[in-house]
Structure 1
Amino acid sequence: MMLVIGYLLKSITQTVHDEFEEVDNLENVVNIPCGVSPKKRHEIAYLANEVKQVCEKNGCDVVVDFGSGLGYLDQIIFETTNLKVLGLECNTSHYVGAKKRQGKYHPNSVENVKYIKHTINENSNVSIEQYLRGKFLNFNGFCVAGLHACADLTVVALDLFLKMTEAKAIIIMPCCYHKMEKVDDRFKNFPLSNCFKDSFESSKGFEFMGVPFLRLGAQPPCCDEDLEDLVFNLISRAVLQLYASKHNCKLKRNTRKAVKTKTMNRNFETYIQDACNGFRLILNEPVCLENREDSSDIKFSNFELDELRSIWQEIESSLVLKKAAIFILLQNYLQPVIENLILYDRLVYLREKGLKNCKLKKVVNERISPRCMALLAYKNINRIL
């Protein structure tokens, strides 16, 4: 088993991909709203630029954006190219927000950038082709694009791309591999290629390539952060989890960023004060709460700060902190290996389907956006990537 894993790690670390190509002042050339974070500005600007190049090479005059969100990418594509855009979004608030933003800030794009509320699934090829013909009378071919295609969406997009005859190219940046659907305790779309499925079964990969494995693949490495800060954040969060387990509770975030660790200078007292507002404790019960029509009887518990301090004091002076540092460094080394494995599995899947013109490419700067890798594929058999 160890020889198999060792060979696999060596092979995956040598996976070939195209490197990121920086363009001078690109983020400032395109008209991205000021409220968008620097990371997202960078991603939008560079993915839009990549889409432009892909469409020029493959004769596409329409882009179909899978998971268009508030429409930032779509508007930048339209403003920097002559391309029409069809944005598909399943979230109602995002869809409505994109329409409002378009009417307020981009009224000149109404005829060329269309938004449709649609949940993409394995049968969406028929709907997409109908949408395209309904919204755009004439088009030569289209490119499928996706920024942060979560969980199974990337795989669904690849299968739809293969089905749709007028889809000439695809460029998609995946994320959240650990959220992929499971059937009978196995991931539906991992492994994906027949090549990897054979090795996966013979090596009993299902015994260790589960949710934690894929979660690590989706987790950006923390190479640029102070190791002491990383250890503090990890152990502090572990204290909360340990407390919740001891009191038969589930720990739930109240906000996406439950604790603002960058401003507390490794002070545990500040951490737990912040955590009391950022997290809530929900008492575990034998009945599945999610299936209840009335959730008013859900029982909550409160943090006891003295007990949290006591747990921290037991850990603070032990070898746990050193072990945590080793654990974090190991994660940093394994993360790109695991992600390369997941992405290369998808690349091999496309090649097994007869699509030879496909590759992996870093389309953004990984120091700005760790989710930098995209999968590109063309159907034009005369063009070599």
Structure 2
Amino acid sequence: METNTLQSLLSDVIDFLRSADSLLNSHMVSFISENVWENRIPGEIAEEINRMTYDDTLNVLYAIGGLKDEASLIDYVLSPPVDCRALVQFLVQCRKYSLEVLSSTRETRRYFKCKTKEGDEGSLVLKCVKPNISPQYLTPAKKRHEVSLMSVFIAGFFQKYLDKYEISGAVVDIGGGKGYLGSSLALHHGIKVLGVDVASNVSSAAKTRNEKICRKLSEKCTLYQQKTAYVSPKTDLGGLVKELEGDWGKVDCVALVGLHTCGNLGPSCVELFASKASSGIPISMLCNVGCCYNLLEEKFDPEGYSNRAKPCLPPSLNGKLVEVPLDSNPGFPMSTFLCNKNFWLGRNARNLASQSLDRVMFEKKISVDALFQRALLQNVLMELANDASEPERGVLLLKLEKMLIDGKGIGRLAKGNCVLGVYEYFTRAFGKLGLKFTLSESDVDEMCLKFKHFKSKITMFYIMRMFLAPVVETVILLDRLLYILEEGINEAYLVKLFDPVVSPRCFALCARINID
């Protein structure tokens, strides 16, 4: 598959992101202290919003956010309900660069495949060959949604390949966790599956769960096996599978799959597939759904821009130590095209990409109480630092800066979804920071009243900025797709597997290597 169109598209998208950098790399905690509303929104857009009512602005945001194809976007541009040309142009451009819209656009849909059209090459449907697993083994509902759709897709995808070449194969499920996907592939579709996870206690839990299901279905458990290992681009998956041929019989090829592989694990899987380095048994297919873009480590860190993510190497899971190497490779960018541009996103952009515009558009409501409290707290802390004498001032400013750079700030101060009152929130936050809190409850109430008008502005800004989230995801996933194509693997594309409201990271990167 030619790459010129994809390179041109990526160039356009990253140019657009750079033009929106004032929004993209703003920080919600600094909304009040840095007057983000006045300083970060492009001038013409700010003028339009300031002329519009709050309700009119939200209506425009929700209307455009719900459009999912290019024709609908064009129609909206031709007849907007209010005079806000600059705002509409920005929002429409964001939507045009989302994977959802690109998948239906004539020039770019070659890089996508549909999983739903019967008889189409992209339709990879296979009926279950075993009884359904009881819902109690697939909780919560989000996981049931993901596993049911992805297991059917992978089974069809893989079985067509095996039937075409009259060979046998096995699936390796990377980051398999408790084995939801792997056991579904094995027990529903009769596919040999090796689940690999970095934590031994998680692999053990997957084994226990699978044995319970097998007893319920009166099945043997040999089709689904578990292995504890840290996966890198150098991992010999073929060697791991070969160890199981005593139970499985001969295996001719491997399909590498992953459901929501976290941070750098996603690109590691892509690189492992493209390297063709598996000994004995080749990796012939890939189906990977990534997640946790905020945990991606970037290759390029511009001088003075210290916001690289920490490597996604969990020191512990459920209290159990995890043995992992320290030589992880940065996961973005992957393609030579973006590497040659020294392209970087930044932590704020990656954090944003992990959020869900689709859910906000579906629910059409958003609570900004927590955002308002945190922004108000930041303003208080900055005022406290500015009024303090040295060395206290320098210590506090350094602490605040480190919180923003490391992405580890105040964190949750209440259990569940409970939102504390502002005074109690301030009290707990100061205690967590090791600072003395001297404001009275009446002082805090007066402050809330003074800055109350920021709440509506936070809501509008938050939603408008979130339009950029799918654009950042587009860059991340198209970079991975381009990397595979650059490696000479021509059959590669993106497939929308899930309902994005239920499972926001809904696109799978799929590829296969044909046998000569």
The TM tier, using the shorter chain, reads 0.7 to 0.9
User: Are 1:180 and 2:296 counterparts?
Assistant: yes
> Deviation string for 1:323-382 (max 9, x for gaps)?
212222223321111111110111111100001101011111112111111100011178
Stretch of structure 1 that moved more, 305-314 or 113-122: 305-314
Stretch of structure 1 that moved more, 212-221 or 370-379: 212-221
Question: Which of residues 175, 183, 199 in structure 2 aligns to 1:75?
Answer: 183
C-alpha distance in 1 between matches for 2:188 and 2:271? 29
Question: Equivalent residue for 1:232?
Answer: 369
Instruction: Give 1:231 deviation, angstroms.
Output: 2.8
Unaligned runs of 5+ residues in structure 1 are 284-298
Question: Equivalent residue for 1:260?
Answer: 417
C-alpha distance in 2 between matches for 1:39 and 1:74? 16
Letter in 2 for 1:223: M
Instruction: Among all aligned residue pairs of Structure 1 and Structure 2, give the percentage whose two residues are the same amino acid.
Output: 22
Question: Equivalent residue for 1:110?
Answer: 221
Does structure 2 retain, via aligned residues, the 8 Å contact 1:243–1:308?
A: no
Question: Which of residues 461, 474, 477 in structure 2 aligns to 1:327?
Answer: 461
Stretch of structure 1 that moved more, 189-198 or 372-381: 189-198
C-alpha distance in 2 between matches for 1:53 and 1:86? 18
Does structure 1 retain, via aligned residues, the 8 Å contact 2:298–2:332?
A: no
Question: Which of residues 376, 379, 382 in structure 1 aligns to 2:513?
Answer: 379
Secondary structure at the residue paired with 1:57?
A: helix
Does structure 1 retain, via aligned residues, the 8 Å contact 2:294–2:347?
A: yes
Does structure 2 retain, via aligned residues, the 8 Å contact 1:62–1:142?
A: yes
C-alpha distance in 1 between matches for 2:457 and 2:353? 21
Secondary structure at the residue paired with 2:468?
A: helix
Instruction: Give 1:130 deviation, angstroms.
Output: 2.1
**Aligned ranges for residues 86-165 of structure 1 at < 5 Å?**
86-107=194-215, 108-125=219-236, 128-137=237-246, 138-162=250-274, 163=276, 164=278
Q: Which structure: larger Rg?
A: 2
Does structure 1 retain, via aligned residues, the 8 Å contact 2:13–2:97?
A: no
Stretch of structure 1 that moved more, 172-181 or 107-116: 107-116
Letter in 2 for 1:70: K
Q: Could you say what the CA RMSD is over the residues aligned between the two structures, in angstroms?
A: 3.7
> Deviation string for 1:71-104 (max 9, x for gaps)?
1111111111121110101123312211222333
Stretch of structure 1 that moved more, 108-117 or 359-368: 108-117
User: Are 1:44 and 2:182 counterparts?
Assistant: no
Question: Equivalent residue for 1:312?
Answer: 448
Secondary structure at the residue paired with 1:230?
A: coil
C-alpha distance in 2 between matches for 1:115 and 1:280? 46
Instruction: Give 1:49 deviation, angstroms.
Output: 1.0
User: Are 1:57 and 2:160 counterparts?
Assistant: yes
Letter in 2 for 1:18: K
Query: Is the alpha carbon distance of 1:323 and 1:7 closer, same or farther for their aligned partners in structure 2, counting shifts above 3 Å?
Result: closer
Letter in 2 for 1:140: D
Question: TM-score normalised to the size of structure 1?
Answer: 0.77
Question: Equivalent residue for 1:219?
Answer: 355
Secondary structure at the residue paired with 1:224?
A: helix
Query: Is the alpha carbon distance of 1:324 and 1:83 closer, same or farther for their aligned partners in structure 2, counting shifts above 3 Å?
Result: same
C-alpha distance in 2 between matches for 1:86 and 1:173? 17
Instruction: Give 1:179 deviation, angstroms.
Output: 1.0
Question: TM-score normalised to the size of structure 2?
Answer: 0.59
Does structure 1 retain, via aligned residues, the 8 Å contact 2:190–2:223?
A: no
The alignment of Structure 1 onto Structure 2 pairs a total of residues equal to 346
> Deviation string for 1:150-181 (max 9, x for gaps)?
11111110111122362111101001122122
**Aligned ranges for residues 328-367 of structure 1 at < 5 Å?**
328-367=462-501
Does structure 2 retain, via aligned residues, the 8 Å contact 1:32–1:72?
A: no
Q: Report which of the two has the higher share of strand.
A: 1
Unaligned runs of 5+ residues in structure 2 are 1-10, 19-92, 103-107, 118-124, 163-167, 303-307, 309-329, 386-395, 404-408
Instruction: Give 1:224 deviation, angstroms.
Output: 2.1
